[in-house]
Amino acid sequence: SDLQKREERGELLQPLIFVVLVLCSVLLYFKVSLMDPGFVKPEEEVKAGNSEEQSMVIPQVPSNIKMRRCGYCMVKQPMRAKHCQLCQHCVRRYDHHCPWIENCVGEKNHPLFVVYLSVQLVVLLWGGHIAWSGLYFEQSWDWLQHNILLLMSFLLIVVFTTVVLLLLISHLYLISCNTTTWEFMSHHRISYLRHSELENPFDQGVILNLWRFFC
């Protein structure tokens, strides 16, 4: 492959960068998987109440929408929080429960989840280029025997690249609108969205939405 040829020539910069990117993606995976996504805890109810009051000053959100107590873990849910049946906790600014990381994506780990997807996409694109550069096509059984693993790796990388790319694009779109996957999919069932005059009362423009999410 192209990376192997560079290594044999003593050009170690690109192989080193590739290895570092792979390690970063693995570390980000474990970080996002193991960190608290923003669980609402009983001792944080007062803090959640203050946050809720601040949310109510947004003129687009109906003032008659009050915090409700979760029927599962019995804590007061701040606005935009939802109970996750798999994690058995309410999660602030709940986006979704990701089976890839076996954890919820919420207020605390959502930005890092997007960074993880971005790094993973770069690794997959580069890995796909490396696999493709090692393929030379011949119509013979011997060629297939020697290249079957590399060919299967390339096809697998293409599948994962497509999935990660679509996931990253969808998340960036929702972030730019200041909405979550749960709010987007369940708009008609959420009281503070169903009773709002606007379709999305939290949208403050693309630039400000992105700034507040990442910064």
To the query of whether residue 98 is one of the catalytic residues in this protein, the response is yes
DSSP H helices in 177-214: 181-185, 191-194, 206-214
Query: E strands of 9-147, at which residues?
Result: 68-69, 76-77, 82-84, 89-91, 96-98, 103-105
d(CA 94, CA 82): 6
Query: E strands of 35-177, at which residues?
Result: 68-69, 76-77, 82-84, 89-91, 96-98, 103-105
Out of 70, 73, 87, 98, which one is annotated catalytic? 98
Provide CB contacts within 8 A for 214, sequence distance 6+.
Answer: 111
| Residues with a known catalytic role | 98
